[in-house]
């Protein structure tokens, strides 16, 4: 495992091979005589891990690779950051190598994340911010008569990860709402390069003695290019093995203790640069940088940790139980004497756990989880593997929120992962790229009715649907599956992960398109047709039926699936979610922990009470 510490030297092997090779007129000496521009061109074909391996061959190469701005600039360009942002982001870090450290660490988080609950849709899209990545939840909503091209997309922030001057991706903030929007600092524990599950946890850590210099406290901030873990700043946590009740209340307790109020002038500041002109970006760049600097300083000052040693542990537990007794009718705790405050660690932890059991009024959950880590170790597999609360707290002196992006073996059904309701987790949906013979792969959005986006006085808006289109081979035949991931209705008609339609890409449909004109009486141009089946009321909510229909590719890049009997039509277009979010409208968040993963099953729109969010109407039901 190779790492690049903060001082710019590679920790293992730098200069270890002090041989005559460096003095020979060949090998690395000739390589170093190449112009820096040529070295930068060569480095385009290397990964950051390859560069680390190359630098181990000799001390001069180690120095050249570490100090070359052009080499690391080429690596930054490979990370997918828009070119106009590279120069602006470079001004906020020490070097292009520090910028590459951040980009390489957080880039696996970019993309589409979902959760099963609420059934109307829990879609979180992670995109580049300003020297950060931001996770934004798309709110179930309606669209106006002009569709996605005019109406703002409603969204709310879920979390963000900021880069400091060294490119460290540890600075994590969870977003949520109490009296007003707040942030809850934490740390990024690990990011797997092929992560598919994003976990919100509580982790433990030890407080270093004060005699240690401040620099030692940062010694865990290292970038790994081993191919298994890009970022790993802390040891594995036992949080996943706690009982569900302990995990839920521990998360809420810690979030309440580390909460930070953002200054009013930055509360409405943008989280990412606009996607319009560079002039607009210049006007907001100062505000973006100010917000980032303030949040990093707030994170460092607060520490984002709760001290569980001695009186602080007891005080935290006592405050929590008093809060429970005030709100839920549980008898108030007796007063605590100074002698009682000197309870040992295990007594307080046991008291803390027993209070949880009294509050929930039932024994530990015996839920069996089938989620398995990549190495085969399961998380909570049975009652006997539950970790006691005091055993978890023994792992350190302080606890705090942490974000862990890991890879697990997940089972899927029609491109939708099978999830469990007792994990504070988001699941990544792999987006297939369009290719020859699979041109429709990707994320699409639309609504029911014809013409597209047409509204009337009794129905001023139409429910927005997000569909993930993907291809699978079944019995030797290629099929196209449109999986529903978002529905903007009052009350959900079909569960998340439902296949709205399935078509056979090798079977043309003989049915004609039911309408001759498009918007503004423009004639409809049908380019391709496919036979298939669309979702319909059948065996119940969880097991809907299907009825014959056809998929039509028409002009303007639109797809329209028409049910043969009812002539109901679902019209969709390809989405650029990042642009829609940057042009969209931010609404208040859900309460802190629920804002990350809404674990309470709901069939209605839990976001409907927000200001500026329109009322939702349902699409037609199918007989």
pLDDT of residue 86: 85
Give the C-alpha separation, 6 to 223, whole Å: 9
pLDDT of residue 541: 72
- Rg of the Cα atoms in the chain: 27
pLDDT of residue 216: 35
Give the C-alpha separation, 268 to 270, whole Å: 6
Q: What are the helix (H) ranges across 111-263?
A: 244-258
Could you count the other beta carbons within 10 Å of the beta carbon of residue 380?
23
Q: Is the separation of the CB atoms in 54 and 77 below 8 Å?
A: no
Could you count the other beta carbons within 10 Å of the beta carbon of residue 107?
19
Q: Can the peptide bond before residue 451 be classed as cis, meaning omega within 30 degrees of 0?
A: yes
Q: Is the dihedral of CA 118, 121, 127, 129 positive or negative?
A: negative
pLDDT of residue 51: 75
For residue 508, give the nearest of 479, 534, 529, 477 by alpha carbon: 529
**Per-residue DSSP letter, 34:** S
Is 551 exposed, middle or buried (CB count within 10 Å of its CB: 0-12, 13-18, 19+)? buried
pLDDT of residue 240: 86
pLDDT of residue 554: 93
Q: Specify the residue for token string 């901030």.
A: 221
Tokens of 570: 């679902």
Q: What is the pTM of this model?
A: 0.79
pLDDT of residue 489: 87
Q: DSSP letters of 554-574? A: EGGG-EEEEETTT--EEEEEE
pLDDT (tens digit per residue) in 8-18? 333 333 444 44
- What is the phi-psi region of residue 22: left when phi exceeds 0, alpha when psi lies from -120 to 50, beta otherwise? alpha
Is 170 exposed, middle or buried (CB count within 10 Å of its CB: 0-12, 13-18, 19+)? buried
Buried (b) or exposed (e) across 289-317, using 16+ Cβ within 10 A?
Answer: eebbeebbebbeeeebbbbbeeeebbebb
Give the C-alpha separation, 124 to 200, whole Å: 14
pLDDT of residue 332: 34
Assign 173 to helix, strand or coil.
strand
pLDDT of residue 401: 95
* Count of CA atoms in the C-beta half-sphere (13 A) of 156: 27
pLDDT of residue 454: 65
pLDDT of residue 181: 83
For residue 110, give the nearest of 134, 85, 127 by alpha carbon: 127
Q: What are the helix (H) ranges across 235-277?
A: 244-258, 264-267
Length of the chain: 623
Any idea what the Cα angle at residue 513 is, between residues 508 and 480, rounded to 5°? 40
For residue 379, give the nearest of 422, 319, 322 by alpha carbon: 422
Give the C-alpha separation, 406 to 331, whole Å: 41
For residue 590, give the nearest of 97, 26, 200, 137 by alpha carbon: 137
Averages of pLDDT over each 10 residues, the chain, 623 residues? 39 42 52 70 74 72 72 81 83 89 93 91 93 94 73 89 91 89 92 94 72 37 40 64 90 92 82 66 79 92 77 48 41 33 40 44 37 44 65 84 93 85 91 92 92 65 91 91 92 88 94 88 92 84 86 93 94 92 89 90 77 40 31
* Beta-bridge partners for 528: 553
Q: Which positions ≥6 away from 95 have C-beta within 8 Å?
A: 69, 72
pLDDT of residue 158: 96
Question: Residue ranges per domain, the chain?
Answer: 20-83, 432-578
Give the C-alpha separation, 386 to 366, whole Å: 9
């Amino acid at each position: 495992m190779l790492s690049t510490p903060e001082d710019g030297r590679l920790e293992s092997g730098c200069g270890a091979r002090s041989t005559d090779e460096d003095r020979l007129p060949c090998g690395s000496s000739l390589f170093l005589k190449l112009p820096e521009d040529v070295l930068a061109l060569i480095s385009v074909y290397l990964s950051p891990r390859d560069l680390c391996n190359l630098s181990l061959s000799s001390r001069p190469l180690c120095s050249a690779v570490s100090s070359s701005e052009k080499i690391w600039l080429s690596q930054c360009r490979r990370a997918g950051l828009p070119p106009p942002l590279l120069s602006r982001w470079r001004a906020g870090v020490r070097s292009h190598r520090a910028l590459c450290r951040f980009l390489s660490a957080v880039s696996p988080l970019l993309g589409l994340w979902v959760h099963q609950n609420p059934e109307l849709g829990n879609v979180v899209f992670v995109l580049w911010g300003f020297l950060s990545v931001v996770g934004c939840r798309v709110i179930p909503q309606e669209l106006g008569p002009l569709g996605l091209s005019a109406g703002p997309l409603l969204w709310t922030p879920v979390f963000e990860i900021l880069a400091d001057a060294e490119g460290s991706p540890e600075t994590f903030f969870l977003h949520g709402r109490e009296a007003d929007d707040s942030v809850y600092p934490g740390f990024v524990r690990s990011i797997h390069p092929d992560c598919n599950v994003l976990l919100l946890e509580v982790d433990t850590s030890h407080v270093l003695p004060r005699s240690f210099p401040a620099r030692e406290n940062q010694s865990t901030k290292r970038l790994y290019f081993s191919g298994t873990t890009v970022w790993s700043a802390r040891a594995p946590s036992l949080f996943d093995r706690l009982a569900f009740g302990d995990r839920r209340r521990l998360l809420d307790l810690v979030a309440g203790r580390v909460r930070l109020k953002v200054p009013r002038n930055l509360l409405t500041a943008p989280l990412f640069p606009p996607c319009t002109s560079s002039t607009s970006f210049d006007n907001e760049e100062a505000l973006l940088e100010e917000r980032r600097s303030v949040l990093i300083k707030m994170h460092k000052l607060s520490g984002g940790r709760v001290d569980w040693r001695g009186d602080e542990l007891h005080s935290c537990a006592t405050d929590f139980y008093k809060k429970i007794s005030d709100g839920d009718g549980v008898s108030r705790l007796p007063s605590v004497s100074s002698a009682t405050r000197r309870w040992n660690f295990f007594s307080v932890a046991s008291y803390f756990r027993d209070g949880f059991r009294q509050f929930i009024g039932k024994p530990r959950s015996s839920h069996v989880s089938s989620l398995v880590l990549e190495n085969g170790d399961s998380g909570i597999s049975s009652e006997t593997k539950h970790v006691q609360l005091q055993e978890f707290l023994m792992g350190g002196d302080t606890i705090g929120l942490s974000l862990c992006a890991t890879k697990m073996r997940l089972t899927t059904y029609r491109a939708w992962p099978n999830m469990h309701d007792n994990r504070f987790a988001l699941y990544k949906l792999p987006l297939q790229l369009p290719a020859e013979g699979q041109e429709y792969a990707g994320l699409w959005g639309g609504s029911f009715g014809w013409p597209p986006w047409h509204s009337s006085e009794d129905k001023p808006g139409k429910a927005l649907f997000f569909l993930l289109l993907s291809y699978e081979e079944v019995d030797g035949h290629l099929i196209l599956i449109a999986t529903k991931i978002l529905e903007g209705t009052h009350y959900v008609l079909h569960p998340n992960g439902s296949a709205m339609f399935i078509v056979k890409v090798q079977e043309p449909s003989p049915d004609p398109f039911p309408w001759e004109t498009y918007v503004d009486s423009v004639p409809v141009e049908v380019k391709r047709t496919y036979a298939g089946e669309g979702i319909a009321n059948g065996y119940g909510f969880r097991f809907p039926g299907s009825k014959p229909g056809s998929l039509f590719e028409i002009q303007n890049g639109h797809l329209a699936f028409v049910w043969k009997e009812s002539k109901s039509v679902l019209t969709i277009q390809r989405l650029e979610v990042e642009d829609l979010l940057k042009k969209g409208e931010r609404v208040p968040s859900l309460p802190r922990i629920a804002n990350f993963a809404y674990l309470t099953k709901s069939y209605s729109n839990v976001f409907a009470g927000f200001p500026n969010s329109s009322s939702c109407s349902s699409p037609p039901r199918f007989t």
